[in-house]
């Protein structure tokens, strides 16, 4: 009898079996929901990766373009707008249009500082081109470091180059680097000089802005600020000279046309 009592019927644990089956069903349901959730999260992460990865690749490609473009740009800019123009004018007038004085005047000091900034700028674009890992040392401005701003910067650089070359052409033989106290030059008031009294300086400011926007960092920001200050000082020194040189004609011109734009 005892042996018979120890033998259990398969139906004795029916309730336990039903509960276990119910639990298994609920666990399967939960596992299905978790699996679906993980699948959705995976898809979202994948989509984000797919959208951000091309941007990273595009940023890298833009940086490669800038490393090639910026040194070439400034060689062309200063080569065409200043060196070539000086050679052409020198042949026409029979003298060097570079007329910076050699005394201890403000003209000399401003000219010296501006030369130093130009040299530093050119060294910077060479370092940017050949030593890209050094860029972080220039303290990048992250909020401005994006493709849209860089495209705007490239556009401004292109406008600056075209604007400066056209202004040089309008200036004809009156082009000088410095102030010519020996030869009286013609007062140019037409062309771009009808929009700006100093279109060449305006073009130079645009080029500084373009450099800053294409590579926004503390150093190019410093170039922009110092360059702008020196240009403003140089403009006022030249205006003082032109007022003495052309008198009322220049005063009338000042009333009609703004200093920069």
205-217 pLDDT, tens digit per residue, is 999 999 999 999 9
Q: Establish if 190 belongs to a structural domain.
A: yes
pLDDT tops 70 at residue 35: no
Q: Establish if 29 belongs to a structural domain.
A: no
Q: Establish if 243 belongs to a structural domain.
A: yes
When divided into structural domains, the chain yields a total of: 1
Q: Establish if 37 belongs to a structural domain.
A: no
pLDDT tops 50 at residue 19: no
pLDDT in tens, 123-135: 999 999 999 999 9
**What does the alpha-carbon distance between residue 74 and residue 231 come to, in Å, rounded to a whole number?**
18
User: What's the pTM value of the predicted model, to 2 decimals?
Assistant: 0.76
- In which domain, by residue range, is 112 found? 58-256
Q: What is the pLDDT of residue 193?
A: 96
Q: What is the pLDDT of residue 173?
A: 83
Q: What is the CATH number of the domain that holds 99?
A: 1.20.120.1630
Q: How confident is the model at residue 26 (pLDDT cuts 50, 70, 90)?
A: low
Q: Establish if 227 belongs to a structural domain.
A: yes
Average pLDDT over residues 102-130: 89
Higher pLDDT, 163 or 104: 163
pLDDT tops 90 at residue 153: yes
Q: Establish if 47 belongs to a structural domain.
A: no
Higher pLDDT, 183 or 143: 143
Q: Establish if 18 belongs to a structural domain.
A: no
**What does the alpha-carbon distance between residue 130 and residue 132 come to, in Å, rounded to a whole number?**
6
pLDDT in tens, 224-261: 999 999 999 999 999 999 999 999 999 999 999 999 98
Average pLDDT over residues 111-119: 91
Q: How confident is the model at residue 108 (pLDDT cuts 50, 70, 90)?
A: confident
Average pLDDT over residues 164-176: 88
The CA-based dihedral angle spanning residues 112, 118, 119, 122, taken in that order and rounded to the nearest 10 degrees:
180
**What does the alpha-carbon distance between residue 160 and residue 166 come to, in Å, rounded to a whole number?**
10
Q: How confident is the model at residue 182 (pLDDT cuts 50, 70, 90)?
A: confident
Looking at every residue in the chain, the average pLDDT score rounds to 82
Q: What is the pLDDT of residue 138?
A: 95
pLDDT tops 90 at residue 93: no
pLDDT cut 70: percent of the chain above it = 78
Q: What DSSP assignment string belongs to the chain?
A: -HHHHHPPPTTTTHHHHHHHHHHHHHHHHHHHHHHHHHHHHHHHHHHHHHHHHHHHHHHHHHHHHHHHHHHHHHHHHHIIIIIIHHHHHHHHHSS-SEE---SSSHHHHHHHHHHHHHHHHHHHHHHHHH-GGGGGGG-B-GGG-SHHHHHHHHHHHHHHHHHHHHHHHHHGGG--EE--SSSPPP---SGGGGT-S-HHHHHHHHHHHHHHHHS-BHHHHHHHHHHHHHHHHHHHHHHHHHHHHHTHHHHHHHHHS-S--
Q: How confident is the model at residue 46 (pLDDT cuts 50, 70, 90)?
A: very low
Q: Establish if 31 belongs to a structural domain.
A: no
Q: What is the pLDDT of residue 18?
A: 46
């Amino acid at each position: 009898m005892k042996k018979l009592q120890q033998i259990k019927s398969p139906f004795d644990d029916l309730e336990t079996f039903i509960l276990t089956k119910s639990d298994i069903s609920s666990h399967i349901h939960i596992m299905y929901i978790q699996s679906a959730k993980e699948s959705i999260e995976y898809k979202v992460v994948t989509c984000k990766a797919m959208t951000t990865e091309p941007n990273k690749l595009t940023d890298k490609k833009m940086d490669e373009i800038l490393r090639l473009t910026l040194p070439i740009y400034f060689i062309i800019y200063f080569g065409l707008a200043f060196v070539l123009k000086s050679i052409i004018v020198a042949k026409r007038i029979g003298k060097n249009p570079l007329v910076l004085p050699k005394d201890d005047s403000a003209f000399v000091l401003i000219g010296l500082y501006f030369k130093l900034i130009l040299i530093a700028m050119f060294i910077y674009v060479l370092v940017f081109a050949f030593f890209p890992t050094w860029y972080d040392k220039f303290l990048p401005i992250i909020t401005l470091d994006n493709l849209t701003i860089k495209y705007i910067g490239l556009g401004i650089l292109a406008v600056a180059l075209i604007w400066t070359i056209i202004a040089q052409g309008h200036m004809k033989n009156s082009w000088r680097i410095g102030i010519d106290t020996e030869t009286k030059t013609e007062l140019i008031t037409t062309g771009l000089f009808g929009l700006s009294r100093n279109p060449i300086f305006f073009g130079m400011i645009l080029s500084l802005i373009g450099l800053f926007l294409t590579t926004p960092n503390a150093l190019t920001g410093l170039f922009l600020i110092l360059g702008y200050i020196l240009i403003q000082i140089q403009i006022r020194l030249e205006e003082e000279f032109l007022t003495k040189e052309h008198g009322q004609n220049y005063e009338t011109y000042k009333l009609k046309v703004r200093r920069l734009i």
